Structure 1
């Protein structure tokens, strides 16, 4: 009799834990979709200049607005989010501050494979794989899509 009672109680516990886990997943998915909807309302108009797009992106990255940085980034490069790494090769870089946002410079298709507009800036960062935390000269290279400018490439120099 005791074994049967234990099995019933354990079964009820497992079902309750599964229900809590499902509810947590649903709540997380709902919060994620709300964040995406809010970010979509912050995306600049398709005819916005590259300079304004860069400043919008930098503000979003500094504020850890992951939904907005992901919307403005192509799959060709990483989006700045600022999530601390759990190990050596995961996590997102964190933009702590930025300054000296330059004027866009055209990089032709022959040079980069895609016509791009690149903007130089100085950033203070941490968690970039392969770089010590601190100040870097950083380029933000944008391609024009039907939705407007999107970050295609980035890096030092």
Structure 2
């Protein structure tokens, strides 16, 4: 093969490789961090003597981690998953999505207790749903888990 042919074959490879680096890298939720969120929620629930279910989803609305405390019902577990899926999918708290008046939207929760969570820089990582108590307590439990993992449930304002 001549040198000219080799160069012509190498040039497209260079552009393909260069375009791969043009992709923006985004933070992603890993299992370890999802487990920390659950640990923070469990600590909150234990201190309040509650039986909760906690579901943690990534930014693509995929379930990463789940916990159902002894004594919590199957329905509680399903509601926690519904809230977490909504928070991850819509990237708003379920308290906010409940006010949108679109209860038939796919995967939307109309019950408080689901929160999206973000890095300190404001990048979405996913959503957590908690169920097992009054809706406001569920939301405080979710917030406790998010804080325990070192994240925030609100987007950073510059």
TM-score relative to the length of structure 1: 0.31
Larger strand share, 1 or 2: 1
From the CA coordinates, give the structure whose radius of gyration is larger.
1
- TM-score, structure 2 length as denominator? 0.31
